[in-house]
Amino acid sequence: MSSAQERIGVYVCHCGSNIAATVDVEAVSEWAGQELAGRGVVVARDSKFMCASSGQELIEKDIEELGLTRVVVAACSPHMHEKTFRGACARAGLNPYLCELVSIREQVSWVHSDRAAATAKAKAVIAGGVLRVGEHVPLEPLRVPINPTTLVVGGGIAGISTALEIADAGFPVHLVERQPSIGGHMAQFDKTFPTLDCAACILTPKMVDAGMHKGITLHTWSEVTDVKGYVGNFTVTIKERARYINAELCTGCGICQEKCPIRVQDNVFEAGLGFRKVAYMPFPQAVPKYPVIDGPNCTYFEKGTCKACEKFCPTNAIDFNQVDRDVIVEVGNIVLATGFELFDARRIEQYGYGRLPNVFTSLEFERMSNAAGPTNGRIVLRDGVTEPRSVGIIHCVGSRDRNYNSHCSAICCMQSLKFAHLIGDHTDATVHNFYIDIRAPGKAYDEFYQRVLEEGTIFVRGRVAEVTDSLRLPAEADAEGRLIIQVEDTLVGRQRRIPVDMVILAAGLEPPADAKETARLFGISCSSDGWVIERHPKLDPVATMTDGVFAAGCALGPRDIPASVSNGAAAAARILGRIQQKEMAIEPVRATVDEARCSGCRICNDLCPYNAIVYHADRAVTEVNPALCQGCGTCVAACPAGAISGTGFSDAQILSQIEGLLMVSASGQLREVVPA
Amino acid sequence: MSTTTTHAPAGPAPAGGSAFEPVMIGFTCNWCSYRAADLAGTARIKYPPNVRLIRLMCSGRLDPAFVLKAFAEGADGVMVSGCWPGECHYIEQNIKALRRLTLLRRVTEAMGIEPARLQLLWASAAEGQRFANEVGRIVEEVRALGPLAWGRDGARSPGSVEAALALAATGSSDPPPVSPADIDQPAPALAEVTA
Amino acid sequence: MSDNGKPRFAMYWAASCGGCDIAVLNIHEKIAEVAAAFEIVFWPCVMDAKYADVEALPDGSIDLTLFSGSIRNDENLHLAKLLRRTSKILVAFGSCASEGCIPGLANLSPVNEMVATAFETQSTDNPGHVRPTPSWASPEGEIRIPTLAPVLRTLDQVVEVDYIMPGCPPESARIAEVVDLVIAVFAGRAELPPKGSVIGAGTSTVCDQCARQRDVKKIAAFTRIQATAHLDPAICLLEQGIPCSGPATRDGCGALCPAAGAPCIGCYGGSDGVMDQGARLLSAFSSVIDAREPGDIERILDGLPDPLGTFYRFGLARSILRASRPASAGNGHEPPVTARAPGPALAGSAGGTDR
């Protein structure tokens, strides 16, 4: 047995009482020292907190004084402290990869209640670790250079903040945005809570900064279509869609927009409430200021006629021959700031959105309330003329609802309070807010809620059952033509039918529809509902599990503007740190092909999603590119000739671990080995 | 060659449910199912202690030889877990694991290992509770099958060839039933060859 | 060494078909060189000799023994130990001795079932249910026949082996090369390879010697050569859906079967560093199935009706599990069950939250 030839130290942690309360740590340590002595264990100790300096010093001292060649620590999950114990070994002069941390906490003491069974399992886990570590070989982490250019995907407030932080520090950024202008959803808003700052007023200076910044290259009306590479060295393909406008010549004068004869409903920026031309700028403060021609709706593309824009353009900037073009950029890090989409309120049929004209979504209302919006800031019904006498605002539409999304969308309560206030500002309408809970956790948020309360908004605690235009009760006769909100007022304990003229649905936040494709494209994980999964929800909220790819803003989950901006700054700080250090160490878990054993059967060739497997036809052998290999081990397992080996998770290591894990019976006895 | 290998499991009858504790190996992937197990731990969700986990970087690393080795070394059951299809950290390597396990299960079944002893579980990093529930279910299914005891059956131990042959040469204690009227050979006794 | 200074040579056949002996004889006139270079003391296929002659030999007095056939019964075991004691160099010769080969497939059935099949099937007229018995008292004295072991074993699973020469049978050209090497060694002109080596074969796989063009693998269906109207002779058989064990099989045979239009069936066993040839084939073939959904995967795998037999045709006795459960249990007194309720679906879709 390979482990028997080593000098192995075993360290069993009490973790206070986290492990010791369920696992008999002293017994396990003693057992390891005695029963695994034949397998190479020369010392076994237990300690209250192995991760504390005293615990680490135990290891360092034994390495130096006892000449340990391998170390096994039985404690918490490797995801917690693998680095810690590797560090202790390195300080004592032992290659850090000769240390194995096995979990007897998350996977034993915390999940089992029977002390005897847990103790037995801990022994088995340690035996597995001891036999495995005997097969470890010294490894050096791979060092990769870090390209100082960064890619930011998504030009909303989170993406813009990130880009500005990095560019202001002196490093180039490519900012990619799917829409013709950066700005994201924040550009659609009217005022921001709780200060009631005008969203455009605080956003546009940042947009202009980003647009003019020497360090930021904007790719709007663009999408990322391909990502190859690894941290520090990504090669990204950006498809810049044809605008049919020559940006070199365009002055942003807007004449093409004025002269364009075709109007279509603007479902993006105006949230369906207003119209735009086919040659259009999404909004007046758009950055970049170049318009875009909406090809599918354009008369020229459909029939070959019109070309009004071209006729009137003073600088000849219209170019109907433009085609999509691919731009390939090399970047070192990527930040995903792809934001959110609004829950489609049509899915809740009983609220009547899409059927009853005067039911609006929150985004539609933002546009309505916005002075630069399709109604010039007037709060009016769908007819564009009538002012509502009363408005009902329904919270949690598509959120906190097992039928649609279980999550809370974090910002809709504040947004709904804001609407209540704005309606009160602009009209004499009575406002009812229908809520489950009021979520106002931020700075000055609850004070804003109090203010809205004092302003006379009526709050009804209950889930709205239905928004309807059909009257039922005789008393509702004078509500002809209005909407009735049917709700259980839980504080009063009664069903109520409340007539209103206008209903606003605080629709929840959802990940973009193509979130899963995006995750796949960038090699990250997203949860089953589509939010990007962060590396640690508490302690590492902007990194993903994939080195080099970060996320900021609502791509991670619903959050307000200050949080999105903070996320962006955090991601930028991490990236700037990497750029400063110029290179980064990555785990040396890689596959390698032994050319002597490889017969060129090519069975592995199609198994690598990272294109790390390369076939050399001249030599009829396959090779794995260590720079691209991500260490999944799939090719190692597939190779019929056993020609591919995987460092860190080699066959010998895993087979030994299997043997060790099965050495101990369910009751903690060493199992007799029956020769086959 | 004969493919009629659907034998009833041989070996000692399973001990009464309460006495038998299966010993199982569970392969997990670093990004999803191992984290699910960790999450179950952080949340202090309890599940049976019968499965001893091995961390791989990806379920795609799972070599069928690992499963076979686990059975040969005394595991009563093996669980393989990874990310849900479509969510593999390495894009779609869990699909390769699925392909391998599908074929492997056909082979182990032909060898006389009940299909329920080899189970595949998809679990994402957020599914600690579900991981615990599924482990509990799998343990009970294996418990009901009794010990696999590969190579450790009473009839084969002691393990040396000579001993097995000596045992065989002494003749079986259970000859098959034979009607005396069928005997027309001068042989004194018809005994089944008991190897 | 024999009295006349010639090294002593022996060849034995345990549980085998005799093909290895024929393969040796197939070196044609070169056999005369063997006869000239060696004193053949024991070779049941070719000359008359009694076990007692071998039992009388001093330890290590046979310089080279080629042992073919696997260890199926106590007679095989006795000869394995005897020849190990009396031989300097013991070679596990051919697939049976190295990895069990076709006799190893008997490890899928318990012994009593095999005997029952042999003595009670439709083509056998056995109204008295006669079975072989280990001993029988005849008027002239006790007659004993060998006892079948519950599990068939390879030579190196019962005695220490110096070299392994794989193949079913080893190709005669390779045998001739080994003969030359051994003659040179005994003449002091060459060195023996390190003890424990595989001789007469390569270190890579059959694909290395196969002339067919290879491309990326994506198997949409498995089929058989008999069911394929036209096989492209220039393209890899696996890519054409024919399960060819070449990728996991040691080279040395010259890839004769694929060259002739037939898939490699794996008779040279696994190559260096392969612990279980069947597991490698199983992993390799399934990895490249062109399907993602469980239903599609199952459908494509249905094209391999007997994966156990296909992958472990030669190497079952050397594999990790080695024998089926009933076989390794010994007699397995329970009668075979012909129908079994299907087990749970492979991926635990039962009991999960709906996804």
How sure is the predictor about B1, in pLDDT bands with cuts at 50, 70 and 90?
A: very low
Contact call for B61 and A77, based on CB within 8 A:
no
Q: Where are the alpha helices (DSSP H) in A477-620?
A: 515-522, 561-581
Contact call for B99 and C276, based on CB within 8 A:
no
State the average pLDDT over residues A482-505: 96
- Chain A residues with CB-CB distance to C157 below 8 A: 676
If asked whether residues C16 and C74 sit together in one domain, one would say yes
Tell me if the bond preceding A288 is cis, omega within 30° of 0.
yes
Kindly tell me if the per-residue pLDDT of C352 is higher than 50. Answer: no
Beta bridge partners of A361: A505
Q: With an 8 Å Cβ cutoff, is C272 touching chain A?
A: yes
Question: Of A585, A607, A629, at which residue does a domain stop?
Answer: A585
Residue C48 lies in a domain: yes
If asked whether residues A313 and A423 sit together in one domain, one would say no
- Chain A residues with CB-CB distance to B152 below 8 A: 674
Q: Do A638 and A604 contact (CB within 8 A), yes or no?
A: yes
Kindly tell me if the per-residue pLDDT of B173 is higher than 90. Answer: no
SS3 annotation, A278-340: CEECCCCCCCCCCCEECHHHCHHHHHCCCCHHHHHCCCCCECCCCCCEEEEEEECEEEECCCC
If asked whether residues A87 and A234 sit together in one domain, one would say no
Residue A479 pLDDT: 78
How sure is the predictor about B5, in pLDDT bands with cuts at 50, 70 and 90?
A: very low
Residue A667 lies in a domain: no
If asked whether residues C237 and C180 sit together in one domain, one would say no
- Chain B residues with CB-CB distance to C313 below 8 A: 1
State the average pLDDT over residues A337-358: 97
Query: Which residue of B92, B139, B161, B179 to mutate against C (max C Cβ within 10 Å)?
Result: B161
Residue C2 pLDDT: 61
If asked whether residues A291 and A404 sit together in one domain, one would say no
H or E stretch at C13? strand C8-13
Q: With an 8 Å Cβ cutoff, is C282 touching chain A?
A: no
If asked whether residues A374 and A491 sit together in one domain, one would say yes
Residue B166 pLDDT: 62
- Chain B residues with CB-CB distance to A105 below 8 A: 41
- Chain A residues with CB-CB distance to B63 below 8 A: 636-637, 651, 654
| Number of domains observed in the structure of chain C | 3
Number of other residues whose CB lies within 10 A of the CB of residue C354:
4
Question: Of A510, A544, A571, at which residue does a domain stop?
Answer: A510
- For the ranges A597-611, B162-176, C29-43, C260-274, the lowest mean pLDDT is seen at B162-176
What are the domain boundaries of chain B?
A: 21-145, 161-194
How sure is the predictor about B150, in pLDDT bands with cuts at 50, 70 and 90?
A: confident
- Chain B residues with CB-CB distance to C112 below 8 A: 172, 192-195
Across the interface, of B84, B169, B193, the residue whose CB is closest to C111 is B193
Q: CA of C95, closest CA in chain B: separation in Å? A: 18
- For the ranges A63-67, B11-15, C67-71, the lowest mean pLDDT is seen at B11-15
- Which of the listed CATH numbers 3.40.220.10, 3.30.460.10, 3.40.50.720, 3.40.50.960 matches domain B21-145? 3.40.50.960
CB pairs under 8 A between B and C: 247
Q: Do A181 and A286 contact (CB within 8 A), yes or no?
A: yes
Contact call for B126 and A607, based on CB within 8 A:
no
The CA distance from B59 to B96, in Å, is 8
If asked whether residues A249 and A207 sit together in one domain, one would say no
Across the interface, of B7, B155, B193, the residue whose CB is closest to C115 is B193
- Chain B residues with CB-CB distance to C348 below 8 A: 119-122, 134, 137-138
Across the interface, of C157, C203, C283, the residue whose CB is closest to A597 is C203
pLDDT tens digits, A132-185: 999 999 999 889 999 999 999 999 999 999 999 999 999 999 999 999 999 999
Residue C195 lies in a domain: no
Residue C139 lies in a domain: yes
CATH number at C44 reads 3.40.50.700
State the average pLDDT over residues C15-19: 95
Chain B residue closest in CA terms to C351: B134
The CA distance from A110 to B49, in Å, is 11
The CA distance from A18 to A336, in Å, is 37
- Tell me the whole-structure pTM to 2 decimals: 0.79
If asked whether residues C19 and C165 sit together in one domain, one would say yes
If asked whether residues A194 and A335 sit together in one domain, one would say yes
Residue B156 pLDDT: 37
Contact call for C74 and B169, based on CB within 8 A:
yes
Contact call for A630 and B41, based on CB within 8 A:
no
| Cα atoms in the Cβ-side hemisphere of radius 13 Å centred on B4 | 9
Contact call for C287 and B100, based on CB within 8 A:
yes
Residue C346 pLDDT: 62
Contacts of A415 (CB under 8 A, 6+ apart): A193, A362, A506
Q: Do A556 and A567 contact (CB within 8 A), yes or no?
A: yes
H or E stretch at C41? strand C39-42
Contact call for A79 and B35, based on CB within 8 A:
yes
Beta bridge partners of A359: A503
Q: With an 8 Å Cβ cutoff, is C207 touching chain A?
A: yes
State the average pLDDT over residues A292-310: 93
- In this structure, the strands spanning A458-461 and A430-435 are parallel
How sure is the predictor about B165, in pLDDT bands with cuts at 50, 70 and 90?
A: low
Q: Do A351 and A394 contact (CB within 8 A), yes or no?
A: yes
Residue C342 pLDDT: 47
Residue B8 pLDDT: 32
Residue A186 lies in a domain: yes
Across the interface, of C204, C217, C283, the residue whose CB is closest to A606 is C217
Residue C135 pLDDT: 85
The CA distance from A563 to A158, in Å, is 9
- φ, ψ for residue A333, nearest 5 deg: -140, 160
The CA distance from C305 to C297, in Å, is 14
Q: Among residues A46, B9, A675, which one has the least CA distance to residue C332?
A: B9
Chain C residue closest in CA terms to B145: C343
Kindly tell me if the per-residue pLDDT of C166 is higher than 90. Answer: yes
Kindly tell me if the per-residue pLDDT of C179 is higher than 80. Answer: yes
- Chain C residues with CB-CB distance to B3 below 8 A: 305-306, 309
Across the interface, of C216, C218, C280, the residue whose CB is closest to A640 is C280
How sure is the predictor about B194, in pLDDT bands with cuts at 50, 70 and 90?
A: very low
Residue C122 pLDDT: 75
Residue C72 lies in a domain: yes
As a whole-number percent, the residues of chain A with pLDDT over 90 amount to: 89
- Chain B residues with CB-CB distance to C287 below 8 A: 96, 99-100
If asked whether residues C141 and C156 sit together in one domain, one would say no
If asked whether residues C96 and C242 sit together in one domain, one would say no
pLDDT tens digits, B137-146: 999 999 999 9
Q: With an 8 Å Cβ cutoff, is C213 touching chain A?
A: no
If asked whether residues C169 and C65 sit together in one domain, one would say yes
If asked whether residues C134 and C260 sit together in one domain, one would say no
Token pair of C248 as six digits: 């996991």
If asked whether residues C131 and C211 sit together in one domain, one would say no
Token pair of B177 as six digits: 């039933």
If asked whether residues A349 and A487 sit together in one domain, one would say yes
Q: Do A570 and A561 contact (CB within 8 A), yes or no?
A: no
Q: Do B192 and B168 contact (CB within 8 A), yes or no?
A: no
The CA distance from A126 to A181, in Å, is 58
- For the ranges A237-241, A584-588, B39-43, C25-29, the lowest mean pLDDT is seen at A584-588
Residue C116 pLDDT: 86
Q: Do A610 and A574 contact (CB within 8 A), yes or no?
A: no
pLDDT top residue among A479 and A403: A403
pLDDT tens digits, A251-277: 999 999 999 999 999 999 999 999 999
pLDDT top residue among C229 and B175: C229
Residue A462 lies in a domain: yes
If asked whether residues A277 and A150 sit together in one domain, one would say no
State the average pLDDT over residues C195-212: 94
Across the interface, of C208, C215, C355, the residue whose CB is closest to A602 is C215
Kindly tell me if the per-residue pLDDT of C303 is higher than 90. Answer: yes
pLDDT top residue among B87 and A8: A8
Residue A281 lies in a domain: yes
If asked whether residues C156 and C23 sit together in one domain, one would say yes
- Chain C residues with CB-CB distance to B161 below 8 A: 71, 77, 149, 153, 157-158
How sure is the predictor about C344, in pLDDT bands with cuts at 50, 70 and 90?
A: low
Q: With an 8 Å Cβ cutoff, is A406 touching chain C?
A: no
- φ, ψ for residue A488, nearest 5 deg: -90, 115
Contact call for C247 and A599, based on CB within 8 A:
yes
Residue C335 pLDDT: 30
Q: Do C63 and C89 contact (CB within 8 A), yes or no?
A: yes
Question: Of A264, A288, A323, at which residue does a domain stop?
Answer: A323
Contact call for A601 and C271, based on CB within 8 A:
no
Residue C1 pLDDT: 61
- List the helix and strand counts (H, then E) for chain C: 12, 9
Contact call for A110 and B96, based on CB within 8 A:
no
How sure is the predictor about A104, in pLDDT bands with cuts at 50, 70 and 90?
A: very high
Neighbours of chain B (3+ CB pairs under 8 A): A, C
Residue B164 pLDDT: 59
State the average pLDDT over residues C218-226: 94
If asked whether residues C25 and C171 sit together in one domain, one would say yes
Q: CA of B177, closest CA in chain A: separation in Å? A: 32
Residue A675 pLDDT: 44
Residue C330 pLDDT: 62
Residue A443 pLDDT: 95
Residue C199 pLDDT: 95
pLDDT top residue among A609 and A498: A498
Residue C341 lies in a domain: no
Q: CA of B98, closest CA in chain C: separation in Å? A: 8
Residues spanned by the domain of C241: 206-328
If asked whether residues A399 and A377 sit together in one domain, one would say yes
Residue C196 lies in a domain: no
Residues spanned by the domain of A290: 242-323
Contact call for B100 and C282, based on CB within 8 A:
yes
Kindly tell me if the per-residue pLDDT of C3 is higher than 80. Answer: no
If asked whether residues C160 and C141 sit together in one domain, one would say no
Q: Among residues C339, C335, C324, C329, which one has the least CA distance to residue C109?
A: C324
C 130-189 near B (Cβ less than 8 A)? 130-134, 136-137, 147-151, 153, 157-158
Residue C21 lies in a domain: yes
Residue A672 lies in a domain: no
Q: Do A388 and A429 contact (CB within 8 A), yes or no?
A: yes
Residue C329 pLDDT: 73
For chain B, the average pLDDT equals 76
For chain A, the average pLDDT equals 94
Residue B184 pLDDT: 28
Chain A residue closest in CA terms to C152: A676
If asked whether residues C57 and C97 sit together in one domain, one would say yes
| Number of domains observed in the structure of chain A | 5
